[in-house]
Amino acid sequence: MSEEIDKTNCIQVFVQDRQGKEHILEGPTDLGLNLMDLCKIHELPMAGTCGGVALCASCQCYVVSGHVLPPKGVEEENMLSEAFHVRQESRLACQIRLNSQIHGLRVIMAPEEEYGE
Ligand code: FES
């Protein structure tokens, strides 16, 4: 007996890791997850040190598809103003909610943050 998986609320996103390898990730839109959660579920090396509250930038990524995302919140703006490797297309993956609007989103993981001594 086979169980059918309901993919009605499932989207796909494309994430390029720091070695340049692209991963196709599928995730549900009805569980309140964000892109950082999805990367961690798929065991990509995204630290998510602050737990997804825009306080660490370890989930920074570059959005390279033409998707129009909701504008950055104040916390995200503040964090990105202090982070390394920030580009115009930088976003914090933990602030990108999985929903149908981001189906097909393509991102590149930013280099890891380097901390001084
Ligand atoms: S997980 Fe810390 S800023 Fe996204």
* Residue range 78-103, pLDDT digits in tens: 999 999 999 999 999 999 999 999 99
Res 5: pLDDT: 60
Helix or strand holding residue 10 (H, E)? strand 10-16
The label of the residue with tokens 């825009």 reads 54
Q: How many domains does the chain have?
A: 1
Res 117: pLDDT: 37
User: Ligand 1 pocket, 9 CB below 6 A?
Assistant: no
How far, in Å, are 1, 21, 38, 43, 113 from residue 24 at the CA level? 28, 10, 11, 12, 24
Spell 46-69 as b/e; 16+ CB within 10 A means b.
bebebebebebbbbbbbbeeeeee
- When the pLDDT of each residue in the chain is averaged and rounded to a whole number, the result is 93
How far, in Å, are 9, 52, 57, 102, 110 from residue 61 at the CA level? 24, 14, 9, 14, 5
Identity of residue 114: E
Q: Please give the model's pTM, rounded to 2 decimal places.
A: 0.91
Nearest Cα residue to atom 3 of ligand 1: 54
Please indicate, yes or no, if residue 14 is contained in any of the structural domains: yes
Ligand 1 center to 24 CA (angstroms): 21
Please indicate, yes or no, if residue 96 is contained in any of the structural domains: yes
Q: Residue 44 pLDDT > 50, yes or no?
A: yes
Please indicate, yes or no, if residue 114 is contained in any of the structural domains: no
pLDDT in tens, 15-40: 999 999 999 999 999 999 999 999 99
3-state secondary structure of 93: helix
User: Ligand 1 pocket, 96 CB below 6 A?
Assistant: no
Please indicate, yes or no, if residue 74 is contained in any of the structural domains: yes
User: Ligand 1 pocket, 36 CB below 6 A?
Assistant: yes
User: Ligand 1 pocket, 109 CB below 6 A?
Assistant: no
Q: What CATH number is attached to the domain comprising 20?
A: 3.10.20.30
Q: Percentage of the chain with pLDDT > 90?
A: 88
Question: Which of 49, 84, 96 for a ligand 1 pocket mutation test, highest count of atoms within 8 Å of Cβ?
Answer: 49
Please indicate, yes or no, if residue 79 is contained in any of the structural domains: yes
Nearest to 70 by CA among 25, 116, 44, 35: 35
Q: Residue 113 pLDDT > 80, yes or no?
A: no
Range of the domain at 82: 10-107
